[in-house]
Amino acid sequence: MSNKNPLRNYIEKIGLPSCIEHEEAVLSALIHDKAVIDQLTERGVGEEYFHSPIMRSIYLACKDLVGQGKDIDLVSINAYLKQNHSDESITNAIFKLEEMASFTLRISTHIDGLIEFDQRREKTLQSIKSFEESYNGKFTVLRNEEIISSLESWADIRNMEIKVEWLV
């Protein structure tokens, strides 16, 4: 049996879960209102929540500028990033974010999106690791009786109250 991980192949083919629209919306709002950095901090959102390397660079630039007590605007972000040898794709992204300002009124929704996709990436990476460990014998499997005895009975499962919230 081949030990090639199909999950890893799938991720290499399509990439980890991400949503560039949420990243862009949050950064667009941040460029226009540096108080957004406080909302991100309160929610525990850091650089790792920005999957796109370009968006991560822009976020870090904004965070550093705010930390230095400076205002955030296109010129200051661009100058900061040029000091760090950024390329033209970052400059183009900054100008695109400036144009998006009117579309980012519900910043909390986009922050929720950043958190959700970070959690999805984490679960995906955990799945790959578990899959590889199962093929490479990194853990032992208990006897079936021990596994079954540790599970809820089917009657208990049927009687559980499970509430589902639908998001539209």
Residues of the chain whose pLDDT is less than 70? 1-3, 101-105, 137-168
Q: Does the pTM of the predicted model rise above 0.75?
A: no
Nearest to 30 by CA among 52, 45, 51, 48: 45
pLDDT the model gives residue 84 = 77
pLDDT per residue as tens digits for the range 20-37: 999 999 999 999 888 999
In the chain, beta strands by DSSP E: none
Residue 13 CA to residue 57 CA, distance in Å, equals 24
Give helix then strand counts, H and E, for the chain. Answer: 9, 0
pLDDT the model gives residue 147 = 46
pLDDT the model gives residue 149 = 44
pLDDT the model gives residue 159 = 59
pLDDT the model gives residue 82 = 87
Cβ proximity of 38 and 10 under 8 Å: no
* Top CATH class, 6-132: mainly alpha
First to last CA, the chain: 43
pLDDT the model gives residue 45 = 96
pLDDT the model gives residue 12 = 83
Residue 152 one-letter amino acid: E
Q: Give the list of residues 6+ apart from residue 37 with CB closer than 8 angstroms, or none.
A: 30, 62, 63, 66
> How far from chain centre, in Å, is Cα 39?
16
For the chain, how many residues are written? 168
pLDDT the model gives residue 160 = 57
Six token digits for residue 31: 């460029």
Q: Give the list of residues 6+ apart from residue 5 with CB closer than 8 angstroms, or none.
A: 128, 131, 132, 135
3-state secondary structure (DSSP) of residue 150:
coil
In 14-168, beta strands by DSSP E: none
pLDDT the model gives residue 40 = 95
